[in-house]
Structure 1
Amino acid sequence: MRTVRPSRDGTAVAPVLVLTQITSLQVGSAVAKGAYDHVSPTALAGMRLTFSAMIMWVLVRPRLRQITARQWRAVISLGIVFAAMNMAYFQAISHLQIGVAATLELLGPLMLSIVLSHRLEHLAAALLALTGVLLLTTSGASLSPLGILLGVLAALCRAGYVVLNQQVGRLFPDWSGLAVALAVGACILAPVAAVTDAGAIAEHPAVLETGLGVALLSSLIPYSLDMAVLRRIDTRAFGVLLALSPAVGAGVGFAVLHEHLAVRQACAIALVVLASAWSVSRSPHTAPIPSPAPTSADDDQPIKDTEHQAQA
Structure 2
Amino acid sequence: MHAASAPATASARHTAREPAGLVTLVGSALSNQTGAAVGSLAFPALGPLGVVAVRQYVAAVVLCAVARPRPRSFTRHQWWPVLLLALVFGTMNLSLYTAIDRVGLGLAVTLEFLGPLAIALSAARRRVDACCALVAAAGVVTLMRPQPSADYLGMGLGLLAAVCWASYILLNRTVGRRIPGARGSAAAAAVSALMFLPVGIVLAVRDPPAPTALAYAVVAGVLSSAVPYLADMFTLRRVSAPAFGLLMSVNPVLAGLVGWIVLGQSLGPVEWAAVGAVVAANALSVLASRR
Q: TM-score, with normalisation over the residues of structure 2?
A: 0.79
Q: Alpha carbons of 1:16 and 1:120: their partners in 2 closer, same or farther (altered >3 Å)?
A: farther
Partner of 2:3: none
Partner of 1:248: 254
What does 1:1-312 align with in structure 2 at a 5 Å threshold? 9=14, 19-138=26-145, 142-195=149-202, 198-200=205-207, 202-223=208-229, 233=241, 238=245, 242-284=248-290
Displacement of 1:137: 4.6
Q: Secondary structure of 2:103's match?
A: coil
C-alpha distance in structure 2 between counterparts of 1:47 and 1:272, whole Å? 30
C-alpha distance in structure 2 between counterparts of 1:228 and 1:139, whole Å? 43
Displacement of 1:34: 1.1
C-alpha distance in structure 2 between counterparts of 1:104 and 1:198, whole Å? 35
Partner of 1:4: none
C-alpha distance in structure 2 between counterparts of 1:103 and 1:64, whole Å? 35
C-alpha distance in structure 1 between counterparts of 2:77 and 2:236, whole Å? 19
Equivalenced residue count is: 275
Q: Alpha carbons of 1:225 and 1:166: their partners in 2 closer, same or farther (altered >3 Å)?
A: farther
C-alpha distance in structure 2 between counterparts of 1:100 and 1:128, whole Å? 17
Q: Secondary structure of 2:45's match?
A: coil
Q: Alpha carbons of 1:147 and 1:50: their partners in 2 closer, same or farther (altered >3 Å)?
A: same
Which structure shows the bigger proportion of residues in helix conformation? 2
Q: Secondary structure of 2:252's match?
A: helix
Contact 1:35 1:207 in 2 (8 A): yes
C-alpha distance in structure 2 between counterparts of 1:117 and 1:138, whole Å? 28
C-alpha distance in structure 1 between counterparts of 2:110 and 2:82, whole Å? 27
Q: What is the RMSD computed on CA atoms of the aligned residues?
A: 3.2
Q: Secondary structure of 1:206's match?
A: helix
Unaligned segments of structure 2, at least 5 residues: 1-9
Sequence identity percentage: 34
Contact 1:241 1:276 in 2 (8 A): no
Q: TM-score, with normalisation over the residues of structure 1?
A: 0.74
Range with bigger deviation, 152-161 or 102-111: 102-111
Post-superposition Cα deviations, 1:164-185, rounded to whole Å, max 9, x if no partner, equal: 1233334443221221110011
C-alpha distance in structure 2 between counterparts of 1:161 and 1:149, whole Å? 18
Range with bigger deviation, 140-149 or 221-230: 221-230
C-alpha distance in structure 2 between counterparts of 1:129 and 1:241, whole Å? 17
Displacement of 1:53: 0.4
Post-superposition Cα deviations, 1:214-253, rounded to whole Å, max 9, x if no partner, equal: 111122333455677789649xx84x76444321211111
Post-superposition Cα deviations, 1:69-110, rounded to whole Å, max 9, x if no partner, equal: 333222221111011112211122121111111122223333
Displacement of 1:46: 0.5
